Amino acid sequence: DAPKVTEADPTAQALGYKEDATKVDKAKWAKYAAGQDCGNCSFYQGKAGDAWAPCPMFGGKQVSGKGWCSAYNKKA
């Protein structure tokens, strides 16, 4: 499996990625809305319910299904 993104990763810092979407800095990321997470983002490369899956925003490293970053785009 691809390595997991950590919150200390420079890209994670730039995009405000958190492994737990509820811990997102809402003051900084006003676009965040409750209920959004990687698991329902169009970029998430996993199946529904996968705990971790690759994300192209992080060069294919794995992100947490319960995570979030500012590149979030709701899955259609």
Q: Which residues bind ligand SF4 (CB under 6 A)?
A: 17, 38, 41, 43-44, 55, 57, 63, 67-69, 71-72
Q: How far is the CB of 62 from ligand SF4 (least distance, A)?
A: 10
Q: How far is the CB of 27 from ligand SF4 (least distance, A)?
A: 18
Residue closer to ligand SF4 by CB (options 2, 71) is: 71
Residue closer to ligand SF4 by CB (options 27, 70) is: 70
62, 54 contact by CB (below 8 A): yes
Q: How far is the CB of 58 from ligand SF4 (least distance, A)?
A: 6
Taken in order 63, 67, 70, 71, the sign of the CA dihedral is positive
Residue 16: Cβ within 10 Å count: 18
Residue 59 region by backbone torsions, left for phi larger than 0, else alpha for psi between -120 and 50, else beta: left
